[in-house]
């Protein structure tokens, strides 16, 4: 990791406003991108909102697995609502300015919600591990009190760390104000900083390992034990049923963690801005968009709940 040269003191500026370049390099596509991301945002709200609703009102889905899924869907709504509305506003008005406070606030929420998603995905894998590997103890281990504690821990565990991460990044002096991204994320913000950012980048790696790599390893351990147990089942139908209950969650894990790990833990070069932007689209937009489809298309209980809900509404 090559340290940056320390700029002369007179060149250091206290920037109070940044410019989010997002997709300004393709001016001919601004209205198309606005329409595209607006449709995607509405689909995310509708899809995840529906999943959240049915897990709360359908009695058949009042189980720990769907309790976690409902919270995950609500989290996805919060996650995209931190980034997409500002991006839509930029595309609509072509005014891409964002104040330092607003940028820091957006980053803090993105980091906190991203950390929550990492931990919650690990909790969901633990739920599947207990259900498949210790089915007799499942009602006792995953009782309502434990489920609430696990979800609460997922939501609050990263708050102090991510606030501290945001403060230490925005305490840096900045030599430029043009952010080559569609939201205030760590890598493009650090590229604007003056002087040596080695310590800051080291802290980013430590936090990324803590909230991305550790939960991911826990997921791998859980699924390693699940696969080992499933392969020992005598009937092929039993194996297929066990795998089907895990495949949806595993697909979401691959989408989210794959892009997040590459974004935050790979070595940085001067030419990674475009790659970071594309990868960020996966864990901030693509995963929330496909989450309802993945869980509904691959889950018979969710499909039945949706049918009952829609039939009840249409008949009334």
- The domain that holds 248 is classified in CATH as 1.20.1070.10
- pLDDT tens readout for residues 253-268: 888 887 777 776 666 6
* 195 within a domain of the structure (yes/no): yes
Question: What integer pLDDT is reported at residue 3 of this predicted model?
Answer: 44
The mean pLDDT value of the chain amounts to 85
Token digits of residue 293: 């489809």
- The answer on pLDDT for 270 being more than 60 is no
Between 217 and 12, residue with greater pLDDT = 217
* 220 within a domain of the structure (yes/no): yes
* 1 within a domain of the structure (yes/no): no
* 4 within a domain of the structure (yes/no): no
- The answer on pLDDT for 243 being more than 60 is yes
Radius of gyration of the chain (CA): 22
Question: What integer pLDDT is reported at residue 15 of this predicted model?
Answer: 63
* 172 within a domain of the structure (yes/no): yes
Nearby residues of 156 by Cβ (< 8 Å), 6 or more positions away: none
* 8 within a domain of the structure (yes/no): no
Question: What integer pLDDT is reported at residue 33 of this predicted model?
Answer: 92
Structural domain of residue 231, as residue ranges?
14-315
Question: What integer pLDDT is reported at residue 297 of this predicted model?
Answer: 64
- Rounded alpha-carbon distances, angstroms, from residue 89 to 19, 97, 276, 278: 13, 10, 21, 20
- pLDDT tens readout for residues 6-23: 444 434 445 678 999 888
Task: Please tell me the distance from the alpha carbon of residue 12 to that of residue 183, in angstroms, as a whole number.
Answer: 23
Domains: count for the chain: 1
Residue 221, Cβ density class (10 Å: 0-12 exposed, 13-18 middle, ≥19 buried): middle
């Amino acid at each position: 990791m090559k340290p940056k040269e320390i700029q002369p003191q007179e060149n250091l500026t206290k920037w109070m406003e940044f410019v989010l370049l997002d997709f300004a390099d393709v001016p001919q596509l601004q209205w198309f991108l606005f329409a595209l991301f607006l449709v995607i945002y509405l689909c995310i709200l509708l899809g995840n909102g529906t999943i959240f609703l049915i897990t709360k009102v359908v009695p058949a889905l009042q189980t720990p697995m769907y309790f976690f899924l409902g919270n995950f869907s609500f989290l996805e709504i919060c996650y995209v609502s931190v980034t997409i509305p500002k991006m839509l506003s930029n595309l609509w008005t072509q005014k891409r300015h964002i104040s330092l406070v607003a940028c820091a606030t957006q980053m803090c929420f993105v980091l906190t919600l991203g950390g929550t998603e990492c931990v919650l995905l690990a909790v969901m894998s633990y739920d599947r591990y207990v259900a498949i590997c210790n089915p007799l103890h499942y009602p006792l281990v995953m009782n309502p009190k434990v489920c609430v504690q696990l979800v609460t821990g997922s939501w609050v565990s990263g708050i102090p760390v991510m606030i501290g991460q945001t403060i230490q990044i925005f305490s840096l002096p900045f030599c430029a104000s043009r952010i080559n991204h569609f939201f205030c994320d760590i890598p493009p913000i650090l590229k604007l900083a003056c002087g040596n950012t080695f310590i800051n980048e080291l802290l980013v790696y430590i936090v990324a390992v803590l909230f991305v790599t550790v939960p991911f390893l826990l997921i791998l351990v859980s699924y390693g034990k699940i696969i080992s147990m499933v392969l020992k089942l005598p009937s092929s139908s039993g194996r297929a049923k066990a795998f089907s209950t895990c495949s949806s969650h595993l697909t979401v894990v691959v989408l989210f963690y794959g892009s997040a790990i590459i974004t935050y833990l790979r070595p940085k070069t001067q030419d990674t801005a475009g790659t970071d932007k594309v990868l960020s689209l996966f864990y901030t937009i693509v995963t929330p968009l496909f989450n309802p489809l993945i869980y509904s298309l691959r889950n018979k209980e969710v499909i039945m709940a949706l049918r009952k809900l829609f039939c009840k509404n249409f008949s009334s």
